[in-house]
Structure 1
Amino acid sequence: MALLTGLGQAATVAQLVGVDIGGLISMIVQAARMARQNRSECEQLARRVLMIAQLLPHVQEPEAVQPLAELGDTLREAHELVVSCQGRNAAYQLVMAGRQAERFRDVHSRIDSYLILFPVISHIGMTRRLGRIYNVLVPEDSSRVDPSPLPQPQESTEVAQEVLPHGTQQFTWAEIVAATNNFDTVIARGSSGMVYKGRLDDGREVAIKHIKNDEYWREDFSTELHILSRLQHKHIIRLLGSCVIVSKDKCPLTTRQKIKKGLLTRWRKEPEEPEEPERLIIVYEYMENGTLHDLLGSDQGSSMLSPVTVSWKLRMDVLLGVSRAIEYLHCHAHPPIIHRDINSSNIVFDASWVPRVADFGSSVASDVTREEEGVECEAVGTLGYVDPEYHDTFLPKPAADVYSLGVVMFEVLTGKRAVFIEEKGTVTHLPNFAITLIEAGNLGEMLDRRPSPEPTPWELQALKHVARTARHCVKLSSKDRPTISDIVGKLEMAYELTCRDESGSVDELPDSPRGSNVSSAGCQSDLEPEALEDGP
């Protein structure tokens, strides 16, 4: 999880270049949402400038800002161009169509020239901070156990059948040290701390996260315990327990003490007591097969590719499981939860390749945002997955998770990172790459070749459904995106298509297993059909 304060950090750049970069980017995004003509081009342009906003926190040194001196002029022209698409009569648009297309190409090219610069200028005096972006662009190799054999995916089950009971326990520091053999096996490193493999006295393998002890990460720790302890679902990682040690006597705090100290809620804080926690530990079930991010990033030529990497059927099953977890959060949790950091690194796999959504440190209860209408939340998330509207308004909505899930869908379809560097050196946002090919009718050109060089007819129909759904999920305006329940229905259809016998007729497409109406408020179906042609 990476903190995104691009528009705020833009103030630093603004002081150095004499331009309100953050204000211009915000104006472009708002204007793009109101565009009535050239909406696709306006959305693409808005995504490009948001990439700049999300990369700005990595550029703070005066020497690094110098190449951005003319960025303000480019952004002003982009804003003027998008505003011109908000409302003109048909005759004017017809006359100016060619000119506008040329202006869009020119502005896109100039924005791309700045995106090419970021991987270079970010090196200036920023070795430590660079790790946050390059963990996304150039993922590090991580040690993990050999993949488990490919299982037969289970039949789809309803939400109620996927809810699993579980309890949590308080661990002592001695138990944590013994379980990890004095923290000798690191399985993950993150901005919040280290994750170690461990084994409890009863033989259960566990993942033990040792969280950094500072104010920001203490808040994440509190939120994760408070929220995850109340969630019980097949596709959500299971919290086994925690350990909090205070510096005074190194005794673990009880749950009541944690609440009193403000360690179990982000929203209601009591005055702090003198003692501060010295060690913050969360214990999860162990996820043997790593993250979706790592599995999709496996070497294209490796002979040891995972089942997720080589099977379209299993990839559809993964997306279906993740969407059901989000549906549970949005429609069945009490109160409803907005995850705020859905990304492929937060989708993990157990020994049977069942996907689980993890990392709830950034989550918020959506009833809080409704009850306190207009209250802004700090924009958090991971580079490439953050909802543009949320990044602009700082008001979290369930649709923000839908946007992030759409980016994950594109990752599953293409095998590419959410943010990647093209051959020409441009930092590229995956939705821009994918949407361009989809709208050109070149679906086949964007598909990952590792599952199958040539998808079967049924697989191709399934991939069309996912591509179309992902395209709707990443719409610039949240009101244009589908609800999560509708997404689950579309992914159920896609999964069923991959299970069909190849000899069947591709024209006999099934209706979604779900009805168009879902009882939970705010979770009704609203995804309109959209044509998607085969690629050449």
Structure 2
Amino acid sequence: MALWTELGQAATVAQLVGADIGGLISMTIQAALTARQNKKECEQLARRVLMIAELLPHLQLEDPEAVRPLAGLGDTLRAAHELVVSCQGRSVAYKLVMSGRQADRFRDVQSRIDSYLILFPVISYIGITHQLNRIYNVLVPDDAPSGEPSPISLSSQLPYLQESPEVAADMMIPHGVKQFTLDEITVATNNFAIDGRIGTGGSGDVYKGRLHDGRVVAVKHLMADRSQNKADVFRMELAILYPLLHENIIRLFGMCMEGEERLVIYEHMANGALSDYLHGQPATAFDSSPVRTSWKTRVEVLLGAARGIKHLHCHVVPPVIHRDIKSSNILLDARWVAQVTDFGISVSWDTRQADRVHSVMGTYGYAAPEHFLEGHLSPASDVYSFGVVMLETLTGMLPILIDSKEELASFALPAIEAGNLRKVLDKRPALEPRHFKALELVARMVVRCLRLSSRDRPPISVVVANLEAALEIICSDPNSVSENKFKRFFFPKSTKSIHTRLRRPKRQPHTHTQQLPEAELQTRNSSSILGLDIYRNWEELRTRAVKT
């Protein structure tokens, strides 16, 4: 395989870690495919190991000191292989005894691999800095005034780079990004055939193509006459998307830059965009899709997209604000897994410049009010936009109603806040009682995400927790709810003592008219992390808790 050929070229790394990198990775992936226990965890671990395989050949290895932090990588890969092998064939009794310990081992190994994945961009940056120094030495004569900028600062070199367009163009490309020729992309897309066009956006058209190695790709052809500057979009897509490795973020395959042409090549998403299924015409292939017919799939799609946004906000340094979250920018792969795409107007967020005014961009109906009206941006802006997507998914309606030109939020939120969710809920998916309970949970979070003040919105991590809880309710046994699930859904950790007292009515009996202690009333006000008022049906919850 070409992948192992590339790894074979990474001799410096192999010598450094003292391990057969290609062999360990290959054996780990093969073992994951045949695992009998913890299949999901093995697959996730194999994906992380595969990321290591794809990134290693692109590291700058000229400076041994730069790659020395990878010295423990071999031991980590061995641990990953041993862990996956241990999941091959075990008895039921062994599985029951070891399940807790296995979960801890998976978390530990995944955390160790993640720590190396975080190091890779840093090592690449060091290599890029060395390249900048060499370019600087060529562009700046030896007799340049002493007050000239330092070669270490990219921004300080821009005046010199602007004098050399070819060098400036090269510097836009992060090291390691695969560069395709225009001839390759022209052949792959059948000369950008009209019937191969699968999307049109604010920055260009997207075509489906097939590379010479058989991979199916999506090719974004950036247009100069669109509202956004083509060079800026191209640079931003590459700079932000290339280092991102996450299951719910579109994968960058490469780019093409010849003459005036700018093209970005992504992994192709077989099932299109979320918007296709929410708003596509009836009597089409979309009618039978699980996104159109299943509430479970819709919540799974929302959860996947939220996890992608959480990665941008919480795990990328500095955080990335997507700036154009909408249903057409949430794509679905062959397994209906959501992936966030289109980073052409994204920005890195500097908390020290939180009051900075940005150019107003994005899509009307999704843009947060503070950005649309004042140009202010923060992670809460993405949360607002995602709140619109959540509402869109619940109702099946467009963000701007066609007949009245009214915003969907203005139409639907009053009904939700009045307890009339059924009035606006999409009627196409079959609705079971447990589905409705989960959707009420999601709807309450929508209300919080769409607060006009950015300070009143929850962070995306809370939105993820809400959707995880909603999905667990949908997937639960419709005939019974276990005590553990009951406590998890209705009693956050901060109210555990209340639940304990409810199960002991003799020590502290409750009646229909009993007054809640002041401490519990305060807990009530602070226990809505999932957007759920746990005291709304107090008597029902009390009765269920006592019976268990």
TM over 0.5: yes
1:395 to 376, 389, 411: 376
Hey, what does 2:270 align to over in structure 1? 288
Q: Residues 257-292 of structure 1, C-alpha deviation per residue, up to 9 Å, x if partnerless?
A: xxxxxxxxxxxxxxxxxxxxx000000011111111
Counterpart AA for 2:183: A
Cα deviation, 1:495-517, whole Å, max 9, x if unaligned, reads 11111121124996352699889
The alpha carbon displacement at 1:389 in A equals 1.6
For structure 2, the residue ranges without an aligned partner over 5 or more in a row are: 1-38, 56-176, 495-527, 538-548
2:249 corresponds in structure 1 to 236
How far 1:180 sits from its partner (Å)? 1.1
Q: State the AA in 1 paired with 2:447.
A: R
Letter in 2 for 1:208: V
On the 8 A contact 2:326/2:366 being kept in 1, the answer is yes
- The answer (yes or no) to whether the contact 2:444–2:531 under 8 Å persists in 1 is no
Aligned to 2:310: 327
Alignment of 1:446 onto 2:427: no
In structure 2, C-alpha distance between the alignment counterparts of 1:402 and 1:226, rounded to whole Å? 23
- What residue is the counterpart of 2:223 in the other structure? 212
Mark the CA change 1:515 to 1:360 in structure 2 (over 3 Å): closer, same or farther: farther
User: 8 Å contact 2:255–2:265 — kept in the other structure?
Assistant: yes
For 1:495, the equivalent position in structure 2 comes to 471
What pairs with 1:432-443 in structure 2 (closer than 5 Å)? 432-443=410-421
List alignment gaps of at least 5 residues for structure 1: 1-153, 247-277, 518-524
Query: What corresponds to 1:456 in structure 2?
Result: 432
Q: Is the 8 A contact 2:322 2:382 kept in 1?
A: yes
Greater mean alpha carbon deviation, residues 496-505 or residues 197-206: 496-505
d(CA) in 2 for partners of 1:471, 1:353: 26
TM-score normalised by L of structure 1 = 0.58
Map of 1:261 onto structure 2? none
Deviation at 1:428, TM superposition (A): 1.6
**Between Structure 1 and Structure 2, how many residues are aligned?**
337
Residue of 180, 187, 212 corresponding to 2:198 = 187
Which structure has the bigger radius of gyration?
A: 2
The separation in 2 between residues aligned to 1:320 and 1:156, in whole angstroms, is 18
Matched to 2:302, the amino acid is L
In structure 2, which of residues 187, 190, 208 is the aligned counterpart of residue 197 of structure 1? 208
Amino-acid identity (%):
44
Q: Equivalent of 1:306, from 289, 294, 298?
A: 289
Cα displacement (A) at 1:440:
2.3
Could you tell me which residue of structure 1 aligns to residue 404 of structure 2? 426
Distance 1:317 1:381, change over 3 A: same
1:426 Cα offset (Å): 1.3
Provide Cα deviations, 1:51-99, integer angstroms capped at 9, x if missing partner: xxxxxxxxxxxxxxxxxxxxxxxxxxxxxxxxxxxxxxxxxxxxxxxxx
2:507 corresponds to 1:504:
no
> Could you list the per-position Cα deviations for residues 465-515 of structure 1 after superposition, in whole angstroms to 9, with x for gaps in the alignment?
100001100000011111111111110000111111211249963526998
Letter in 1 for 2:310: E
Deviation at 1:373?
4.4
1:203 CA drift (Å): 0.3
Deviation at 1:392, TM superposition (A): 2.4
The higher-RCO structure (CA 8 Å, 6+ apart) is: 1
Question: How far apart, in 2, do the equivalents of 1:306 and 1:189 lie?
Answer: 23
Structure with bigger helix share is 2
User: 3-state DSSP class of the match of 2:232?
Assistant: helix
Q: Distance in 2 between matches of 1:513 and 1:445?
A: 25
Q: TM-score w.r.t. structure 2 length?
A: 0.57
Task: Kindly provide the amino acid, as one letter, of the partner of residue 280 in structure 1.
Answer: R
Cα distance, 1:302–1:206 mapped onto 2, change above 3 Å: closer
Pick from 178, 184, 190 the counterpart of residue 187 of structure 2. Answer: 178
Q: 1:516 to 1:162 in 2, by over 3 A?
A: farther
SS at match of 2:266: strand
RMSD: 3.0
Equivalent in the alignment of 2:178 = 169
